[in-house]
Structure 1
Amino acid sequence: MTTKALSHGGDYCDLYFENTMLQTHQLMDGEVSSGGVNIDYGVGIRVLKGEKTGYAYSESTEWSDMESAATAASAISQGQAVRPRDTRSTGATYTAQENNGGRLVRRLYPGQPNPRADRYPI
């Protein structure tokens, strides 16, 4: 992976892998009133070339996805423009639906775009 990240002549690169899960539970009058789970997973790749820094990430650790991120970080460190991957056909969307308790829940439908996403994988 470092070879791919340094493919445009970078001086240094590092890879940061993350797999974090945060669970929250809210108690009201001694009973659980709500809860949630947040998972952060993926890899960030940074390439340094002199005074310039290129950074890209992938929310997947599939080899091909990491290679794409490494290539993008390498190109960015050289000042080259990088076209982001089109996520409209490969993303996922969450929709709110009511469960049997009357609360809205979010359900994931793979393969559909998520127009509210604030980050897009490389």
Structure 2
Amino acid sequence: MNPIIFEALLVQTQAECLRVILGPYCLEFAAADVDDVQELPPPAGLVEGSAIAARVTLQAGARVMRIASADAYHALLWKHRLPFALASRPNRIFETHEPMRRAEEAFFAARGLRELLP
């Protein structure tokens, strides 16, 4: 039987396991079933020191100790850029400007659509 080879991000876990982030999945394998791990250059956007990009070689029939969603890791592993327009403004809910609200009411009233107004 052929070994299982894939590229993934290695993240911290217990000594007897190998935890990888592979797309949307977080997988753990028994360390005894790992034949080889070769470090690869980190992908663009990876937060420095958060994970190690690697090519993993597992024995055929390797035991999967855990499988889960990797959603919780994505916010920690990847740099997220916020557009300047959002990053430079405080978070606030804007009130409708009174002249705009009146113009909107007139628009709906002229078309018999007043019941659509909140």
Please say whether Structure 1 and Structure 2 have the same fold, judged by a TM-score greater than 0.5. no
Q: How high is the TM-score relative to the length of structure 1?
A: 0.28
Structure ranking higher on relative contact order (CA contacts 8 Å, 6+ apart): 2
Pick the structure with more helix per residue.
2
Q: Which has the larger radius of gyration?
A: 2
Q: How high is the TM-score relative to the length of structure 2?
A: 0.28
